[in-house]
Amino acid sequence: MTKQAKAHLALLGANIFYGAGFTIAKLVMPRLIQPLGFIFIRVGVVMFLFWLSYLGGSKFRSKIDRKDWPVLILGGLFGVSMNQMLFFTGLNLTFPIHAALIMMSTPLLITIISLFVLRERITVSKAFGLIIGVSGAFLLMSAGKELTVTGSSALGDLFVFGNASSYAIYLVMIKPLMHKYRPIIVVRWVFFFGFLIVIPFAWPQFSAIHWSQFGFTDYLCVGFIVICVTFFTYLWNVYGLHILSPSVAGAYIYMQPIFAAIISVVFAGEKLTLIKFLATILIFSGVFLVNFGFRKKRKDMEDELMPE
């Protein structure tokens, strides 16, 4: 098997895990674990696993410049603590398909933030894509009249949208450091500061967990979310990015709602409604137009650089 084939399989596996995670997390949450208690476990264990890379030798160690520490701390805030707490709190209140579709807004939000922070230019197709894509997310949230066992799905949708916004800010903020240091070094510090921020919020729910009530399947669900949906997905995404282009790797995120929908319908009995279908079309169309604008721009630049 070629390296390219292995990279595609790694990215496919990572996004299948992501899609499955929406449903599997709800098998134990909030029945056995409250959202923030789950975050304490997830962030704490994965931080420890990432820091094991420090034992890999000098190539996995690097002195951090003083000016980069504030970025790493903010990365821990937006990319780990706020991101994870908003997501699991929202997922606890809404449906897996809702959460997966709203997470599709992340590329659109990244584009919006980049317009202001990185001063990127906007094209007509990109602007139109942003409008219809974000409209799809708001359609899903505003129509969230369905009731879950924990309340109205609309509030959960809003929390998930906040999570997508927080993660978009993190990606734009942390990108320069990913080029300056090894990604594993950046991420382990981000998780370290994120875990410190999570502790005071999540400790009460973590300490309230009654582990004696867990069955073997429940432990498997927790292990799957921590090891597969968090740790392995990161490693596989990094492996894929080393071999394939970022555009190819990024395209796999659009498969998450498909996997999430199949798994939630088959195993959780979630219903597909007209509103969800329309929101899916709007979000997918918006992401496509935004990406088309970027690709067209790159192609035009390449054409200008090509010798006559």
> Over 166-195, what HEC string results?
HHHHHHHHHHHHHHHCCHHHHHHHHHHHHH
- The set of residues, in sequence order, having a beta carbon less than 8 Å from that of 165 and lying 6+ positions away, is 109
Task: Give dist(CA 14, CA 48) in Å, integer.
Answer: 20
Query: Comparing 106 with 26, which gets the higher pLDDT?
Result: 26
- pLDDT one-digit tens code per residue, 229-286: 888 887 787 677 667 655 555 556 666 666 776 776 666 566 666 776 777 677 667 7
pLDDT of residue 300: 44
* Residue 294, pLDDT score: 46
User: What residues does each domain of the chain span?
Assistant: 3-305
pLDDT band at 224 (very low <50, low <70, confident <90, very high): very high
Residues in the chain: 308
Whole-model pTM above 0.85? no
Share of the chain above pLDDT 90, in %: 21
pLDDT tens digit sequence for 24-51? 888 898 889 998 999 999 999 999 998 9
- How far, in Å, CA of 214 to CA of 76, rounded? 30
β-partners of residue 22 are: none
